[in-house]
Amino acid sequence: MSATPFEQLANLDRRVHDPARLAILTALSACERADFLFLLGITGLSKGNLSSHLMKLEEMGLVEIEKRFVGKKPQTLARLSDSGRETIEGYWKEMEELRESAASWRPDLVPLPSLG
Amino acid sequence: MTTQDRDRIRFFTRHFNDLQGLRYWAPLGLVALSGAACFANPALAFLLFVGAYVLMLGARRYYGATLGEVEREPVAERCSLSVYSPAGPTPRLEGFQQVSPPVQQFLAILGLAFVLVFALQVISPVITILESQVQQSRVTLDAIYEREPSWTRGIGSVTAGAAAFLPPLRILAAQTLYSLFGSLLLSLWLWRERRASQGYLLALALPLLGFAAFGGSLGYFIYEERAAVVDVINALLPTVTNLWVALLFCGVAMILVGLLDHRQLVRALGRPS
């Protein structure tokens, strides 16, 4: 028997389910790498928030961070790791499946638990 | 996060570089305008050309400093570009063998546009356009066109009378220019996933391609000697026969694209403090 939408929802990868992390990973999945300034604009996060989310994502091994100097200015670049790319693609695939199963889900088809 | 948010983030990340309108499209438009100005004022043409160069360099720094940088995904599959070679079985250009999908798309559309325009040029009835009459603001159809004998081919054959004939190369150059810029805008619209928000690219590409097709098929229209057709042709004639008008139109179109792209990008990414 296939999982109900509720079970699918409960099984979603919580590391990326947070909207801020999801925005960061989605942006990084559409490019090779992006710098901190771009991620700041596209996600709408504050500098501190973005920085802490990037650190957590790096600790989880989903994102790789590179710091360098362009002239005298420091630049932080982020890119998805291989596992990060798999994770975000898997997440969006699961969400699509969840959307489809939620659309076709009918409460009257769920068997009632036996009381005795 | 909704799927619309996801698509928006993906779109602006994927097209961050080509949406930098002040860096690419507006300078290209200024170069076209500089070409148009060459016909009237070389000093202005030089200023516009220098302005395009300065804008391109300045915009590069501006985008890098205010909106950040994005490195595109490497192209997964490059396409081979086949080119007919009369020398034998060497169907690829040296050093230009592999092109990215958007470039291939642009070349395919451009090739089709050229074939269409030149085919129309060849098969449409031959006409002569007199230079002095083209420059008038209001002329009648009979005065502009004179049907050529059936053995004459091409636009702009010499006719009797004092007026100079319009050089056919100039008309062809104008049509080529419309085809080039129209194809560029159309392929850009396709490359940007045919989104409704990019509709201005299509809205600007279609008239340019339309002018190219119209210029190639002028001969057909003179056989439709109806008042409404005459008025339309008279109004459009300078557009399709003057190279400077074609450069002006294409330049303005590219500057518009540049400004609208820039506006979109700044709106999507906000104005960082």
CA distance A22 to chain B (A): 8
pLDDT digits (tens, 9 = 90+) for B99-110: 788 888 899 999
CA distance A61 to chain B (A): 20
Residue B130: its pLDDT value, please? 60
Does the distance separating the beta carbons of A27 and B6 come in below 8 Å? no
The shortest CB-CB distance from B9 to any of A33, A36, A42 is to: A42
CA distance B99 to chain A (A): 19
Task: Determine contact, residues B234/B138, Cβ cutoff 8 Å.
Answer: yes
Written as six digits, the tokens of B33 are: 């305008």
Following CA atoms A26, B64, B12, B76 in sequence, which dihedral angle do they give, to the nearest 10 degrees?
-70
- Whether residue A43 is predicted with pLDDT greater than 50 in this model: the reply is yes
Residue A54's nearest CA partner among A89, A21, A13, A15 is A21
Task: Determine contact, residues B272/A40, Cβ cutoff 8 Å.
Answer: yes
How far the first Cα of chain B sits from its last, in Å, is: 25
* Res. B228 pLDDT band, cuts 50 70 90: low
Residue B99: its pLDDT value, please? 74
pLDDT digits (tens, 9 = 90+) for A53-99: 999 999 999 999 999 988 888 899 999 999 999 999 988 888 888 88
Residue B237's nearest CA partner among B131, B124, B123 is B131
Does the distance separating the beta carbons of A34 and B73 come in below 8 Å? no
Three-state secondary-structure class, residue A62 = coil
* Res. B173 pLDDT band, cuts 50 70 90: confident
More confident residue, B85 or B8: B8
pLDDT digits (tens, 9 = 90+) for B8-63: 999 999 999 999 999 999 999 999 999 999 988 899 999 999 999 999 999 999 99
B13 contacts in A (CB within 8 Å)? 27-28, 30-31, 34, 38, 42
Check CB contact of A29 with chain B, cutoff 8 Å: yes
CA distance B118 to chain A (A): 40
Does the distance separating the beta carbons of B69 and A38 come in below 8 Å? yes
**Arithmetic mean of pLDDT over chain B:** 79
pTM: 0.80
* A:B CB pairs within 8 Å: 73
Residue B129's nearest CA partner among B140, B118, B115, B143 is B143
- Whether residue A8 is predicted with pLDDT greater than 70 in this model: the reply is no
What backbone torsions phi and psi does residue A29 show, to the nearest 5 degrees? -75, -15
Three-state secondary-structure class, residue B128 = strand
Q: Of chain B residues 50-109, which have a CB less than 8 A from chain A?
A: 66-74
Give chain A's count of helices (H) and strands (E).
6, 3
A30 contacts in B (CB within 8 Å)? 9-11, 13-14, 73
